Amino acid sequence: MSTQFDKSEASFPYKSSGAVALDTCFRSAMRASTVEAVRNAMQAEAELGSEIGSHSEYGNLAIQGGLRRAVSRLLKVPQNEISLHGNTDAAMKVIASRFPFEPTSSTVVALRGDYPSVYDSFAQRRGVNLAFIEGRLDDNHRPISWDVNELDRILALTRAPLVAISHVMYRSGFRADLERVQDVCRSHGAYLVIDAAQSIGVYPLHPLEIGIDAVAFPFWKGCEAPRGTAALWTSPVFSELLDSTDYRCHEVKELISSTGMTSIDRPDAVRFEPTTLPTPLLAGTLEALNQGVLRYPHGELYSEVMRLQRLFAEKLDTDYAKPVLQDDLRGGLILALYLPRHEGKEGFVVKAAREEGIRITNRDGMVRISPHYHCTDAEIVEAAERLNTILKS
């Protein structure tokens, strides 16, 4: 029997306006219960004040523990290897600041056209250079995909100790074959760090099974959580490597001790958390995971999202909108489209679509369609037909 996904207006209040949420790759629609969890946690803080810290339900430690257990189920990793952050940039900064690069010159391999937060923190580290995978470009010289053989050549040439890339490209929706990527990295002795912003919550990602060293991602896209929460998973070997630098030197420990924070000496991944996140956001994130993506078999959830993307593409007038990539090259939150008769005017098309209640986004000359499991077939068909009408007007 196939999985019955919750697509109800009662669970997703945005539907009451007649809108169709196809912008998950930017910010997911939230469940009503997620909003309620945030509200309840804020009310508890207002009523309990400093006493909330030891509260069995709304205490920060209680909610953090629940959230780590949820992420543990999502990634199939031990919960003590998970740290919580405000966004993926903060998570990447942890790695960039702690990784034991050579003091004078070292290289990080990144992807040209990737989201800047994936590699910016490494570029700011003194003595670290970036070597870019150029990838395959479209007719307007925009990167839309890449080949693992290019990574192989760059690693052979640079002997870079670390590769930092996105699982799914945020413009085109191209999904990297992480098994092949990891095989190449391992053959060159390089560590692999993945930003899973555009795949987590949809595509089954189990880093221990693949051999990835670290995964960072926000919760507010595929995981349907409030904006402002993210996670970082680091393997035990990689975690020890991050502790091998002078980050834990006496002066740093004294500074942190003076602020009353002692997490630097924690044996688990909490030592990588520079600050404590707001309890209401954590409560909402935990609710979103437990009542959303964790309710469904991950493979079936992925199949549903890809089915909705294909349905949308099938209803498009291809004289006006064409997928950037074929199905076999995609595999995350994004169906990217070219608009051949509206080139350079994608922003105006997106604005017109939003005025019609179709929530879509655009990046660098591509329009992004990003449904989640809560979209119905009727909503997808209606949205595609409305977009056709806009493109023909």
Strands 366-369 and 20-21: unpaired
User: pLDDT per residue over 28-41, tens digit each?
Assistant: 999 999 999 999 99
Q: pLDDT class for 258, splitting at 50, 70, 90? A: very low
Mean pLDDT of 318-347: 92
User: Quick check: 327 pLDDT over 80?
Assistant: no
- In this predicted model, which residue has the larger pLDDT, 5 or 243? 5
pLDDT at 47: 85
The answer to which of 103-117, 239-253, 313-327 has the lowest mean pLDDT is 239-253
**pLDDT given at position 96:** 95
User: Which pLDDT value is given to residue 45?
Assistant: 84
Domain ranges of the chain: 13-31+296-392, 40-291
Domains 13-31+296-392 and 40-291 share a fold: no
Question: Beta strand pairing status for 82-85 and 361-363?
Answer: unpaired
pLDDT value at residue 254? 46
Protein fold of 40-291: Aspartate Aminotransferase; domain 2 (3.40.640)
Average pLDDT over residues 139-143: 91
pLDDT value for 53: 65
What is the pLDDT averaged over residues 16-31? 96
Query: What is the predicted pLDDT for the residue at 255?
Result: 40
Contacts of residue 97, defined as CB under 8 A and 6 or more positions apart, other chains included, come to 121, 125, 247
Return the closest-CA partner of residue 197 out of 229, 219, 178, 226. 219
pLDDT tier for residue 11 given thresholds of 50, 70 and 90: very high
Q: What is the pTM of this model?
A: 0.92
Q: Is the pLDDT of residue 162 over 50?
A: yes
Domain 13-31+296-392 has CATH 2.60.40.420: no
CB 60 within 8 A of CB 53: yes
pLDDT for residue 252: 40
Specify the pLDDT at position 301: 95
Can you give the pLDDT at residue 3? 87
338 phi, psi to nearest 5 deg: -90, 145
What are the φ and ψ backbone dihedral angles of 217, each rounded to 5 degrees?
A: -165, 150
